[in-house]
Amino acid sequence: MRPLGGPEMVCHCLIVQTGDGLTLVDTGIGVGAFLGFTMTTGAALDVSETMPARLRALGYDLGDVRDIVLTHLDVDHAGALRHFPRARVHLHAAELEAALRPPSAGERSRYRPVQWEHGPSWVTYGEAGEPWLGLEARPLDGVDGVALVPLAGHSRGHSGVAVRDGDGWLLHAGDAYYVRGELADPPRCPPHLRLAQWSVATDHRSRLANVRRLSELPPGVRVFSAHDAQELAAFA
Ligand SMILES: [Zn+2]
């Protein structure tokens, strides 16, 4: 995505080998993006960059995907859900509730029910969790080494996703922040992206508190957001 004023932004997803199948963390924009979203974000709309195309390029079959964990249900995270109709879809209960029965006009416009009209097998997680490195985790049902880490604020049930990586962890922080500089002290973020985050947040104060907690995670946790291009490039 190339929003006016930059910087270039990505949709960072994960493909995780779990058991005898694959688990996805977020699905990206997919195909069939919406005009309003495309215009405001300058999305490239390159089919070769979509999750189904990336999976096939890596030699996988779309049917290999057994589970999908979503940080939240915004269009650029749930866009390719329909390509995996048999996968179980794990997410925070508050996020699914907000998307199915939006409590505000803003939430009615941010979600696109067409992205889940095929009727996914939802698996939801509530408030009860276990301590995890200063945050809380909900280990996924039936998926070893992956846990939902609630980070509400960007949306009602927004969550990070922790993935066991050898002796450490990856933490996909979704849209808890947009650019790496937000984890610095003092935080750095281009004004238009600060405004964008403020305008879509359901709880701005909680969002900022979560950014602070992310900045204090111990070594051994590799945290990255969904949209920072440099964080994605560092994986290459
Ligand atoms: Zn996003």
CATH of the domain at 197: 3.60.15.10
Give residue 204's domain range. Answer: 14-233
Q: How many Å lie between the centroid of ligand 1 and the Cα of residue 225?
A: 9
Contact between 71 and 11 (Cβ < 8 Å) = no
From ligand 1's centre to the CA of 186, what distance in Å? 23
Please give the pLDDT value at position 181. 97
The whole-number pLDDT of residue 235 equals 86
Structural domain tally of the chain? Answer: 1
Calpha distance 65→43 (Å, rounded): 25
Is 136 domain-assigned? yes
7 part of a folded domain: no
Structural domain contains residue 192: yes
Between the CA of 159 and the centroid of ligand 1 the distance, in Å, is 12
Spell out the per-residue pLDDT of the chain, length 236, in tens.
988 888 899 999 999 998 889 999 999 998 877 778 888 888 888 899 999 999 999 999 999 999 999 999 999 999 999 999 999 999 999 999 999 999 999 999 999 999 999 999 999 999 778 999 999 999 999 999 999 999 999 999 999 999 999 999 999 999 999 999 999 999 999 999 999 999 999 999 999 999 999 999 999 999 999 999 999 999 87
CA of 196 to the centre of ligand 1 (A): 11
Residue 4 lies in a domain: no
> Which residues are within 5 Å of ligand 1 (an ion), measured at CB?
76, 175
Q: What's the CA-to-centroid distance between 72 and ligand 1, angstroms? A: 8
Whether 180 is covered by a domain: the verdict is yes
- Centroid of ligand 1 to alpha carbon of 134 (angstroms): 24
Ligand 1 centroid, distance to 29 Cα (angstroms): 9
Q: What's the pLDDT score for residue 27?
A: 97
Between the CA of 236 and the centroid of ligand 1 the distance, in Å, is 21
pLDDT at 112: 93
Which pLDDT value is given to residue 42?
Answer: 86
Dist CA 215 CA 233 (whole Å): 20
Note whether residue 129 is domain-resident.
yes
Residue 46 pairs with which residues in a beta bridge?
Answer: none
Tell me the CA–centroid distance for residue 174 and ligand 1, in Å: 7
pLDDT for 99 equals 98
CA of 77 to the centre of ligand 1 (A): 6
92 domain-assigned: yes
